[in-house]
């Protein structure tokens, strides 16, 4: 029996290898796509997906070369995310392809959008469950900003869906809310967490970190221990522990002033990046530009008045 299974698997590996060879000699782009799609199916059926996984790194290049439709892109992205989900060490890559799959539904009508509901829910639940996925998700040289999920049509449709509205609300809380919002949600609808296999304690941990980031971005560069304690609902002697965890997770850069009982924020990644953040960036760039202009004017004036470079700037 085992020998027969081995021969069947070897046969499928041989076929897949032959198709790869044909792919390399074929010049027609769409023909190449059809062969790649066939190899995907063979790899899954023959349980030899490790043969196809290395090609996923060049998927963007392939998609561009094939010049395929949105529907075809969805098939490829969905196959890739499902294959990678079963591969050890490819969780982040799997999520990236899931994200790309959902992006292909932009501009589609209600009927087409409904095809993406299950995967949209999957994207939310995987994000909430992940202990190391916060505002930004990085896979290889590609980055995904989780806040984009909120307004992505494939995901946004869940907001008014009777069955999935609680899941969308959970996404809103984890991306923009505080721990208190999550606790209110849990108190009113703990069944949603159970339905999707979410562990309350793990959600609290993640929301504490997300809430701390929210405090850091909303403040004036400093956050008091007392505010952190009350927001994260922890004891006084646990405040520094959570700050250290946030720093270790690279959510922020900060120093703790134990004498003044404040956390001094050096850098913090925005939880969401929308119109307000663009305005702030624009103001910052305008100020930087004005400062550079002022320095340039001072140097130019000094050169004119002294006939050269100011003495204070000379070596």
pLDDT score, position 190: 95
CA 175 – CA 271 distance, rounded (Å): 6
Q: Clarify whether residues 51 and 138 are in a common domain.
A: yes
Q: Which of 57-61, 81-85, 291-295 has the lowest mean pLDDT?
A: 291-295
Is residue 85 assigned to a domain?
Answer: yes
User: Per-residue pLDDT tens for 137-180?
Assistant: 666 666 677 888 999 999 999 999 999 999 999 999 999 999 99
Q: Which helix (H) or strand (E) element contains residue 139? A: strand 136-139
pLDDT score, position 47: 81
Evaluate the CA torsion angle 246, 136, 96, 101 in order and state its sign.
Answer: positive
CA 295 – CA 160 distance, rounded (Å): 54
pLDDT score, position 236: 97
Is residue 161 assigned to a domain?
Answer: no
Determine the average pLDDT of the residues in 255-282: 74
Tell me which residue range forms the domain holding 35.
24-104+117-124+134-155
Q: Clarify whether residues 241 and 149 are in a common domain.
A: no
Q: Clarify whether residues 61 and 145 are in a common domain.
A: yes
Is residue 171 assigned to a domain?
Answer: no
- How is the beta sheet containing 222-224 ordered, strand by strand? 222-224, 262-268, 252-257
Name, in order, each residue with C-beta under 8 angstroms of 26's C-beta and a sequence gap of 6 or more: 32, 35
Task: Please state, rounded to an integer, the average pLDDT across all residues of the chain.
Answer: 85
Q: Clarify whether residues 222 and 151 are in a common domain.
A: no
Q: Clarify whether residues 146 and 195 are in a common domain.
A: no
Percent of the chain having pLDDT more than 70? 76
Residue predicted with more confidence, 286 or 62: 62
Q: What token pair was written down for 155?
A: 């995901």
Q: Clarify whether residues 194 and 238 are in a common domain.
A: yes
Q: Clarify whether residues 191 and 147 are in a common domain.
A: no
Length of the chain: 315
Is residue 265 assigned to a domain?
Answer: yes
Kindly tell me the burial class for residue 297, based on how many C-beta atoms sit within 10 Å of its own C-beta (0-12, 13-18, 19 or more).
exposed
Give 36's strand partners. Answer: none
Is residue 177 assigned to a domain?
Answer: no
Kindly tell me the burial class for residue 203, based on how many C-beta atoms sit within 10 Å of its own C-beta (0-12, 13-18, 19 or more).
buried
Residue predicted with more confidence, 45 or 98: 98
User: Per-residue pLDDT tens for 18-63?
Assistant: 666 677 767 899 999 998 998 888 888 878 888 889 999 999 999 9
pLDDT score, position 282: 52
If you average pLDDT over each of 2-6, 31-35, 224-228, 287-291, which comes out highest?
Answer: 224-228
Q: What token pair was written down for 203?
A: 């959600």
Q: Clarify whether residues 143 and 197 are in a common domain.
A: no
User: Per-residue pLDDT tens for 169-224?
Assistant: 999 999 999 999 999 999 999 999 999 999 999 999 999 999 999 999 887 789 99
- Asked whether residue 281 carries a pLDDT value surpassing 50, the answer given is no
Q: Residue written as tokens 């550079």?
A: 292
Q: Are 202 and 156 in contact (CB under 8 A)?
A: no
CA 172 – CA 271 distance, rounded (Å): 11
CA 263 – CA 243 distance, rounded (Å): 8
- Asked whether residue 231 carries a pLDDT value surpassing 50, the answer given is yes
Q: Clarify whether residues 37 and 142 are in a common domain.
A: yes
Is residue 201 assigned to a domain?
Answer: yes
Q: Are 83 and 44 in contact (CB under 8 A)?
A: yes
Is residue 260 assigned to a domain?
Answer: yes
Q: Which of 67-76, 142-151, 236-245, 292-301 has the lowest mean pLDDT?
A: 292-301
Q: Clarify whether residues 139 and 231 are in a common domain.
A: no
Residue predicted with more confidence, 282 or 257: 257
User: In this structure, what CATH number is given to the domain that contains residue 263?
Assistant: 1.10.10.10
Total structural domains within the chain: 2
Is residue 35 assigned to a domain?
Answer: yes
The residue among 237, 256, 272 that closes a domain is: 272
User: Per-residue pLDDT tens for 8-19?
Assistant: 556 556 666 666
Q: Clarify whether residues 60 and 151 are in a common domain.
A: yes
Q: Residue written as tokens 């202009």?
A: 293
Q: Clarify whether residues 151 and 192 are in a common domain.
A: no
Q: Are 50 and 11 in contact (CB under 8 A)?
A: no
Q: Which of 83-87, 196-200, 291-295 has the lowest mean pLDDT?
A: 291-295
């Amino acid at each position: 029996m085992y020998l027969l299974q081995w021969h069947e698997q070897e046969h499928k590996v041989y076929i897949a290898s032959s198709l790869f060879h044909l792919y390399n000699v074929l010049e027609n782009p769409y023909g190449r796509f059809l062969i790649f799609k066939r190899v995907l199916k063979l790899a899954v059926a023959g349980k030899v997906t490790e043969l196809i996984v290395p090609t996923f790194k060049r998927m963007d290049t392939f998609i561009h070369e094939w010049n395929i439709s949105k529907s075809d892109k969805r098939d490829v992205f969905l196959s890739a995310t499902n294959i990678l989900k079963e591969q050890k060490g490819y969780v982040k890559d799997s999520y990236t392809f899931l994200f790309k799959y959902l992006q292909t539904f932009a501009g589609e009508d209600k009927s087409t959008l409904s095809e993406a509901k299950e995967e949209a829910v999957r994207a939310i639940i995987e994000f909430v469950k992940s202990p190391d996925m916060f505002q930004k998700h990085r896979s290889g040289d590609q980055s995904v900003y989780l806040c984009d999920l909120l307004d992505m049509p494939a995901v946004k449709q869940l907001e008014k869906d009777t069955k999935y509205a609680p899941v969308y609300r959970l996404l809103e809380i984890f991306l923009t809310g505080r721990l208190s919002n999550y606790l209110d949600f849990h108190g009113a609808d703990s069944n949603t967490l159970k339905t999707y296999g979410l562990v309350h304690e793990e959600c609290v941990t993640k929301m504490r970190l997300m809430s701390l980031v929210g405090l850091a971005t909303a403040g004036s560069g400093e956050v008091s221990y007392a505010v952190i304690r009350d927001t994260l609902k922890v004891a006084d002697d646990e405040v520094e522990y959570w700050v250290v965890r946030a720093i270790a997770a690279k959510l922020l850069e900060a120093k703790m002033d134990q004498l003044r009982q404040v956390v001094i924020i050096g850098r913090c990644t925005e939880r969401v990046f929308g119109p307000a953040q663009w305005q702030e960036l624009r103001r910052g760039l305008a100020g930087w530009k004005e400062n550079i202009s002022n320095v340039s004017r001072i140097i130019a004036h000094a050169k004119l008045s002294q006939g050269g470079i100011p003495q204070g700037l000379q070596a």
